Chain A
Amino acid sequence: MQWLNTRQWTLARREAASGYLFVSPWIIGFALLTLGPMIASLYFSFTKYNIVDPPKWIGIENYSRLFSDPLFWQSLKVTLHFAVLALPSGLVLGFVLAILLNQKIPGVNLWRTLYFLPSVLSGVAVTLLWIIIFNPQIGAINQLLEKIGIKGPGWLNDPDWAIPSFAIMALWGVGSSMIIYLAGLQGVPVDLYDAAKVDGANSWQRFRAVTIPMMTPVLFYNLVLGLIATFSYFTQVYVATSGATGGAGGPARSTLFYNLYLYQAAFKYFEMGYASAMAWVLFVIILILTGLVFRSSSLWVYYEGELRGKSES
Chain B
Amino acid sequence: MFAGGNAPQLVGPNGVSTIAEFFDSWADITPFIEAENFDTSDFYGPAVELNQYPEINTGLPLGLYPSFILYNIDMFDAAGLDYPPSDFSDTSWNMDKIREIGMKLTLDANGNDATSPDFDPENIGQWGYGDQWSEMRALLAREGAPDVGRPTSADYKTATANSPENIMALQWYSDGIWKDHFIPNAEQGDAMDATGGSPIESGLQAIFQTHTWYLTESIVGLPFEVQLAAPPFNHKGERIAVIDADNFTMPKDAAHQQEAWEVMKWLTAPEQIVDVCLIYGCVPARKSVQDSFRTAFQERFPDLNLDVIFESIEYLDIPNNEAWVPNWGRVNEIMENAGGIIKTGTNIDAKSVLDETNAELQTVLDEYWASQ
Interface string of A28-59 (1 = CB under 8 A from B): 00000000000000000000101111000000
Cβ of A52 and Cβ of B343 under 8 Å apart? Answer: no
Shortest CB-to-CB span from B330 to chain A, Å, is: 5
Shortest CB-to-CB span from B275 to chain A, Å, is: 32
Q: Do A159 and B344 contact each other (CB < 8 Å), given the known contacts A53-B24, A131-B190? A: yes
A112 to B193, CA, bound (A): 36
Closest to A253 in B: B337
Shortest CB-to-CB span from A163 to chain B, Å, is: 14
Shortest CB-to-CB span from A206 to chain B, Å, is: 48
Cβ of B336 and Cβ of A247 under 8 Å apart? Answer: yes
For the complex, is B346 an interface residue (Cβ under 8 Å from A)?
yes
Cβ of B337 and Cβ of A243 under 8 Å apart? Answer: no
Cβ of B340 and Cβ of A244 under 8 Å apart? Answer: yes
Cβ of B186 and Cβ of A252 under 8 Å apart? Answer: no
Q: Do A246 and B24 contact each other (CB < 8 Å), given the known contacts A51-B2, A157-B187? A: no
User: Within 8 Å CB of B338, what residues of A?
Assistant: 246
Interface string of B190-204 (1 = CB under 8 A from A): 110111000000000
For the complex, is A132 an interface residue (Cβ under 8 Å from B)?
yes
Closest to B330 in A: A269
B332-372 with Cβ < 8 A to chain A: 333, 336-341, 343-344, 346-347, 371
Cβ of B346 and Cβ of A252 under 8 Å apart? Answer: yes
Interface string of B255-285 (1 = CB under 8 A from A): 0000000000000000000000000000000
User: Within 8 Å CB of B344, what residues of A?
Assistant: 154, 157-159, 245-246, 250-252
Cβ of A270 and Cβ of B329 under 8 Å apart? Answer: yes
Cβ of A159 and Cβ of B346 under 8 Å apart? Answer: yes
User: Within 8 Å CB of B321, what residues of A?
Assistant: none
For the complex, is A198 an interface residue (Cβ under 8 Å from B)?
no
A191 to B339, CA, bound (A): 64
Q: Do A269 and B337 contact each other (CB < 8 Å), given the known contacts A137-B188, A157-B344? A: no
User: Within 8 Å CB of B171, what residues of A?
Assistant: none
Cβ of B195 and Cβ of A138 under 8 Å apart? Answer: yes
Q: Do A251 and B341 contact each other (CB < 8 Å), given the known contacts A243-B190, A245-B186? A: yes
Residue with the greatest number of chain A CB neighbours at <10 A, chosen from B188, B327, B338, B344: B344
User: Within 8 Å CB of B189, what residues of A?
Assistant: 243-244
Interface size class of A (residues with CB under 8 A): 20 to 34
Shortest CB-to-CB span from B121 to chain A, Å, is: 13
Q: In terms of DSSP, what is the predominant structure of the interface of chain B?
A: helix
B310-334 with Cβ < 8 A to chain A: 327, 329-330, 333
A44 to B297, CA, bound (A): 50
For the complex, is B227 an interface residue (Cβ under 8 Å from A)?
no
> Size of chain B's interface in residues, with CB distance under 8 A?
34
Shortest CB-to-CB span from B19 to chain A, Å, is: 14
Contact partner, A135, options B21, B185, B191, B371, Cβ 8 Å: B191
Q: Do A154 and B337 contact each other (CB < 8 Å), given the known contacts A51-B2, A138-B194, A246-B343? A: no
Contact partner, B340, options A137, A251, A264, Cβ 8 Å: A251
Shortest CB-to-CB span from A49 to chain B, Å, is: 9
For the complex, is A7 an interface residue (Cβ under 8 Å from B)?
no
For the complex, is A147 an interface residue (Cβ under 8 Å from B)?
no
For the complex, is A268 an interface residue (Cβ under 8 Å from B)?
yes
What is the interface of chain A, defined by CB distance below 8 A to chain B?
48, 50-53, 131-132, 135-138, 154, 157-159, 243-247, 249-253, 264, 268-270, 272
What is the interface of chain B, defined by CB distance below 8 A to chain A?
2-3, 21-22, 24-25, 132, 185-191, 193-195, 252-253, 327, 329-330, 333, 336-341, 343-344, 346-347, 371
Beyond the given A52-B253, A138-B194, A252-B341, could you list 18 further A-B residue pairs with CB under 8 A, ordered by the A residue number?
A52-B22, A135-B191, A137-B187, A137-B190, A138-B195, A157-B185, A158-B344, A244-B189, A245-B344, A246-B337, A249-B333, A249-B337, A252-B337, A252-B340, A252-B347, A264-B329, A268-B329, A268-B333
Q: What are 29 A-B residue pairs whose CB atoms fall within 8 Å in the complex?
A: A51-B3, A135-B187, A137-B188, A137-B190, A138-B194, A154-B187, A154-B344, A157-B186, A157-B190, A243-B186, A243-B189, A243-B190, A244-B132, A244-B187, A244-B189, A245-B186, A245-B340, A246-B343, A247-B333, A247-B337, A249-B333, A250-B337, A250-B340, A250-B344, A251-B343, A252-B341, A252-B347, A268-B21, A268-B329
When A and B form their complex, which 6 residue pairs have the shortest distance between CB atoms, in order from nearest?
Answer: A246-B340, A137-B191, A251-B344, A250-B340, A247-B336, A269-B329
